[in-house]
Homo-oligomer: A and B are copies of this chain.
Amino acid sequence: MKVVITGGTGMLGRRLALRILARPELEGPDGTAQNVEKVVLFDAFDPVETPPEDPRVEIVTGDICDRATVDELIDGATDSVFHFAAVVSGGAEADFDLGYAVNLDGGRNVLEAARRTGRCPKIVFTSSLAVYGGERSVDDSTALTPQTSYGTQKAIGELLVNDYTRKGFVDGRTLRLPTIVIRPGKPNAAASGFASSILREPLQGDEVGNPVTPESRMLILSPKRAVQAFIDIHNADGAALGMNRALMMNGISPMVSEMLDGLRRYAGDAVADRVRSEPDALIQEIVDGWAWFSDGARARALGMEPDASLQEIIETFVNEELDGSFVS
């Protein structure tokens, strides 16, 4: 099978590609795992991390907003598309037009290109907790009342995926992700970025500012569990998903103080003391608008599991990204 991953050299795209290349796991229409002959990693940027070294990988750099580019990318041989390309929350809030161009029009380009293939490819769309707003606890049937442009664009994408699927143009599935923690690499423009930074930077020997109150809660999920969830939702029985193809993925819901206490227990005082309070009213306001508890019954029924604990999240990061050791 041929798989296209937009945002394919980014954090989740790259890790999903590595996983897909490692062994046949993505299922075809007959429900059996298929050999992957080609994985196209499409991105607007040159890779920050080393891309997978595999003859089946093709890296394409381009603009998701350009319809001709996307039409060429998602061709008649494409079986499955994972659509990660997006302007993140803080970026979409700072640049209204860019956010709509990439997150809304770029998503429409992906759906239109897939539709034109005439073979109803699978489209796995990445949504976010940010589609909710003002609710502390959410489930699959909670009304979407986004309070950011990013959340609005993701909610619109979900509606489009459902409609294109209903019409038989694509076989769409949407995964609403919790905040991904611990993201490796450098901070990005996501308003949620601090939730990774306050754990990642101290483990690597760097000081870091925490922009929110200790009582702030976040719904979080590790990159490893997120990649597993994308494979699970790709392989889920479409008929069982029904007309609403969006699933809320579960996570764990620590307070920021619990995250920092967990860091202290795992790595010691010297590491935990590298976090200083640096209140940021804008980030606090955005975070306060997010749900921090999810009861995603549909994801659970599909066997999609969150991390067991904060300890697991920190250990996974240290083992996978820091070769098993941190700067004490």
Chain A interface residues toward B at CB < 8 A: 96, 133-134, 141-147, 149, 152, 155-156, 159-160, 162-163, 166-167, 243-244
Q: Chain B residues with Cβ under 8 A from A160's Cβ?
A: 152, 156
Q: Could you list some 27 contacts between A and B, CB below 8 A?
A: A96-B167, A133-B243, A134-B243, A141-B143, A142-B143, A143-B143, A143-B144, A144-B144, A144-B159, A145-B162, A145-B243, A145-B244, A146-B159, A146-B162, A146-B163, A147-B166, A147-B243, A149-B163, A149-B167, A152-B159, A152-B160, A152-B162, A152-B163, A155-B159, A156-B156, A156-B159, A156-B160
Q: How many copies does the complex hold?
A: 2
User: Given known contacts A145-B243, A156-B159, what 4 new A-B pairs fall within 8 Å (CB)?
Assistant: A96-B167, A134-B243, A147-B243, A152-B160
Complex-state Cα separation, A167 to B149, whole angstroms: 9
Q: Chain B residues with Cβ under 8 A from A149's Cβ?
A: 163, 167
Q: Which residue, A96, A145, A160, has most C-beta atoms of chain B within 10 A? A: A145
Complex-state Cα separation, A146 to B160, whole angstroms: 10
Residue of B nearest to A97 (CB): B112
